[in-house]
Structure 1
């Protein structure tokens, strides 16, 4: 069990202070107000659902969506997930949320909601469903700073306020900050290694830009995303851009039908990429999807990356 979960377990065992309602928090470019803690919440995607479970909110949830494989949920949280109905393995339609009598939907843009789709804050509001948007995803609807771990802390803090468990939220954040501080010895102090995030794609690679969480994780681990100046979240680029920037480490995001091993085989067998430092020196890191996207496993991901970067620049 991680230090942050130990902090939370201790807090859950102690009496909680009552939290005043109504509560107002910022959700992207909107303010949302809840008169009382939601009782029939739905979360989309494995990383957002893990945030809810890490806060101990399974008894407030009517279901979850967008988790194609429940085994990807962190082991200590799987028992809690088992208590919650699966409403859809993909993005839910509006009828799914209405059928569950949901009063709250935790999702993000491209994490359960699409611009112009039928499931958006505006289109759910007439049905009494409050939507809180994942902070990292706000770049799709507004200007925001580059991705950082503060995006994760903001979501946890806001969820804590919405559900009346702010003490739990602050305990989680304090635990994560302590874990990061304990990683300082593993983080190099020399020139940051150049890192490329490979999500998928052969003709053109899909990668993380300045607004995607891997940029924050790589920076916290002592590296630099070669696409940190790319003004996108997740998007396609050209292989010529990757070659020109010559990454020293390649992070492979492990998810989907194509395995991490198959992605690595493609990279190492592509003659056009043979000159990349990362490929010549065999510097690869495998990062699970749930660790590469905003959620409780981001801190663990920083540690994994820090150790890999240290080995790559020795």
Structure 2
């Protein structure tokens, strides 16, 4: 599969569009409201919890997972996010039950016309690509004009594909806090965050004094550049996940995904591989293929999907990687 530059970054990172104006409203504030969040440098005010949320795809799934973890499925009027699988039992089935949004043929996300027909009061995107008029999508200003606030992850605000530092697990917590405040469920968001922190701290403590294996993060079969290996994770939330699991990224780099030749990959020492399953019919076969190509690496790997991205379930990824690398500590 080949993705455009604008789309590929959203598989792991979320960039923010230029800030838009706030929607004008005369609605009487609900109890506990109004509330205001700052998103991509601009304040957005809410007089009540959103009732008609639409989630754009951008190749992501962490935002819809966060809403489901917070018990907000009834507020979702349309969802375009799905990997077709999840590391959390029952999560994919819950996503499948949500109202689906049809994406126009040949497009990557919800068109402007489709979006406006859904009458959203809140639109959640993944990168600025999702709100770019040149791509055929409603802009944040256009949404504001019809009374819909919008949101993008603050961790990489800027134009699509840019990185302001490395995304970390704290950015997942930031998303949960934003949604908790917007929907009036901050107490539940803080409970989810506290439990995640407790789980991750316990795992990190188990592996603290262990050697740090060098791990590759790869989405097999996905082409994001011209080189043979263009879906190797360089700079993303996975680096923080690896660190908490007692490992380091063998291919750490400044770019979100690295564009490497087979020779460059072969020269790198790799102790284990994290195979990311994004709509892949047989990720284990992809692992076997990779190890046949690089037999010097051994055969240690784990398959993950949504827990390895921005979202509410990073503790799952930390634990599964740690158990794969340091089984004697569990």
Q: Same fold (TM over 0.5)?
A: yes
* SS in structure 2 at match of 1:97: helix
Report the count of equivalent residues. Answer: 286
Cross-structure match for 1:239: 262
Q: Is 1:268 the counterpart of 2:291 in the alignment?
A: yes
Q: Distance in 1 between matches of 2:156 and 2:328?
A: 31
Q: Distance in 1 between matches of 2:281 and 2:90?
A: 27
| Structure 1 residues 136 and 175, CA gap change in structure 2 (3 angstroms) | same
* SS in structure 2 at match of 1:286: strand
Q: 1:124 aligns with which of 131, 140, 143?
A: 143
- 1:109–1:115 CA contact under 8 A, matched in 2: no
Q: Distance in 2 between matches of 1:122 and 1:195?
A: 42
Deviates more, 1:216-225 or 1:187-196: 187-196
Q: 1:84 aligns with which of 94, 98, 106?
A: 98
Cross-structure match for 1:194: 214
- 1:41–1:106 CA contact under 8 A, matched in 2: yes
Q: Is 1:151 the counterpart of 2:151 in the alignment?
A: no
Structure 1 stretches of 5 or more lacking a match? 1-17
Q: Is 1:97 the counterpart of 2:97 in the alignment?
A: no
* SS in structure 2 at match of 1:170: helix
Cross-structure match for 1:206: 231
Cross-structure match for 1:13: none
Q: Distance in 2 between matches of 1:209 and 1:110?
A: 21
Q: Is 1:226 the counterpart of 2:250 in the alignment?
A: yes
Q: 1:177 aligns with which of 197, 212, 217?
A: 197
Cross-structure match for 2:307: 291
Q: Distance in 1 between matches of 2:259 and 2:151?
A: 27
For residues 88-122 of structure 1, what are the alpha-carbon distances to aligned partners after superposition, in whole Å with 9 as ceiling and x for unaligned? 36622222222221111122128956695333434
Compute the displacement of 1:126 (Å): 3.0
Compute the displacement of 1:251 (Å): 1.0
- 1:66–1:112 CA contact under 8 A, matched in 2: no
RMSD: 3.0
Which is richer in helix?
Answer: 1
Q: Is 1:168 the counterpart of 2:184 in the alignment?
A: no
Deviates more, 1:73-82 or 1:92-101: 73-82
| Structure 1 residues 222 and 30, CA gap change in structure 2 (3 angstroms) | farther
Q: Distance in 1 between matches of 2:102 and 2:202?
A: 39
| Structure 1 residues 206 and 78, CA gap change in structure 2 (3 angstroms) | closer
- 1:196–1:242 CA contact under 8 A, matched in 2: no
Compute the displacement of 1:183 (Å): 1.7
Q: 1:106 aligns with which of 99, 117, 124?
A: 124
Compute the displacement of 1:309 (Å): 1.8
Q: Distance in 1 between matches of 2:141 and 2:87?
A: 30
Q: Determine which structure has greater relative contact order: mean sequence separation of CA pairs < 8 Å that are 6+ residues apart, divided by chain length.
A: 2
- 1:110–1:137 CA contact under 8 A, matched in 2: no
Superposition TM-score, scaled by structure 1 size: 0.79
Q: Distance in 1 between matches of 2:307 and 2:217?
A: 13
Q: Distance in 1 between matches of 2:157 and 2:202?
A: 30
- 1:248–1:312 CA contact under 8 A, matched in 2: no
Q: Which runs of 4+ in 1 moved over 6 A?
A: none
For residues 206-244 of structure 1, what are the alpha-carbon distances to aligned partners after superposition, in whole Å with 9 as ceiling and x for unaligned? 12222x22222111111111233x222235333333333
Structure 2 stretches of 5 or more lacking a match? 1-29
Q: Distance in 2 between matches of 1:225 and 1:294?
A: 17
